[in-house]
Structures are given as structure tokens and as C-alpha cells.
Amino acid sequence: MSELEEWSTSRLLTTAARLVDHAWNERLLNIGITHAGYTTLGVLSREGTMTGAKLALAVHVQAQTIGKTIEKLERQGFISRIRDSIDRRSQRITISPAGTHALAQAEDIERTLMVGEGLESFELRSLLHGIVGELAPQRQKPTAAIV
């Protein structure tokens, strides 16, 4: 029996996700973004300008994580941050023309990343939709303060 046969489903899933993420990042290197950057640009392209907090929720990451991604994307000119005219403490993030171009290049990579690997099966996609649909709302609930 191989070692993988002994692994739990969650361990297999997290390892597979990490390996896919590494494959993404290797291919996205020439564009100058990471998989997290690609996901962020995609949300901004579809949803339009938004705050960092709303963007973090849409990407399913913590505010600190999206902050690092935003900083990298801004340094490369793929996004811009604009102070909110009503709440000066808040910033609104928008995709730039360079970001739109980088997103189009990354989408080309996405179409070819796993071709022939069997990862585009309806069954797998359905199972992954179920996992994300069940676990994502739990991550978005505020955590209770520890006393």
C-alpha cells in the first residue's frame, strides 16, 4: 500500500491544492503575479472597485493576506488604491489597464494548466463546489473574543 493510500481526504486535498498553487505560480512568474494576485485581479475585474475588506471576503482570505497581495499588485501597477471620498480612512481598490492585461495573460495560462490531467471533470468540480460552499461561510463569521 502506498503512503498516499493512508492519507486522509483532507490531507490529500490540501496537498493537491498546494501543488496546483505551485504549478500556477511557476507559470505566472513571467507575468509578475502569483495565483493570489490572479484571483484578486479576477474579482476586481468582475465585481469592480471595492474596499480591501470586501475584497478579502470575495477571495476567501484574511484582511492581512489580501493586504500583502494588494501591495504587490499596486507596486507592479496592476491595481490602484483610491481614498474613499466619504470615509477618508477607507481605500477603494480598482484594477488598472495593466492589471486587465495581466489578467488576460493569466486566463490563457489557466486554460492550459491542467489540460489532460482529468481535473476538469464534472464530479470533481461538483465536490469542490460543495466543500467551498460549506466551509467558506464559516470562515466569514466573526470569531468570538477569548476572555
Q: Give 18-33 pLDDT, tens digit per residue.
A: 888 888 889 999 999 9
**pLDDT surpasses 80 at 145:** no
Predicted TM-score (pTM) above 0.85: no
DSSP assigned state of 91: E
Residue 136 has pLDDT above 50, yes or no: yes
From the CB of residue 28, how many other CB atoms can be counted at a distance below 10 Å? 21
Q: Looking at residue 86, what DSSP letter applies? A: S
pLDDT at 119: 61
Of residues 100 and 4, more confidence is placed in 100
Average pLDDT along the chain: 84
Bridge pairing between strands 50-51 and 79-83:
unpaired
Task: Answer yes or no: are the C-beta atoms of 25 and 34 closer than 8 Å.
Answer: yes
Which residues constitute the domain of residue 26? 21-108
- Tell me the C-alpha to C-alpha distance, in Å, between residue 103 and each of 17, 81, 95, 107: 21, 18, 10, 6
Backbone torsions φ then ψ of 76, nearest 5 degrees:
-90, 0
* Residue 96, domain CATH: 1.10.10.10
Between the alpha carbon of residue 52 and those of residues 37, 68, 86, the distances in Å are 13, 11, 16
> Is 38 within the bounds of a domain?
yes
Q: Which pLDDT band, with edges at 50, 70 and 90, does 39 fall under?
A: very high
Task: Evaluate whether residue 3 is within a structural domain.
Answer: no
Decide: 56 and 93 in contact? Cβ < 8 Å.
no
48 in a structural domain: yes
Task: Specify the number of domains making up the chain.
Answer: 1
- With respect to residue 43, please indicate whether it lies within any of the assigned structural domains: yes
Is it the case that residue 147 has pLDDT exceeding 60?
no
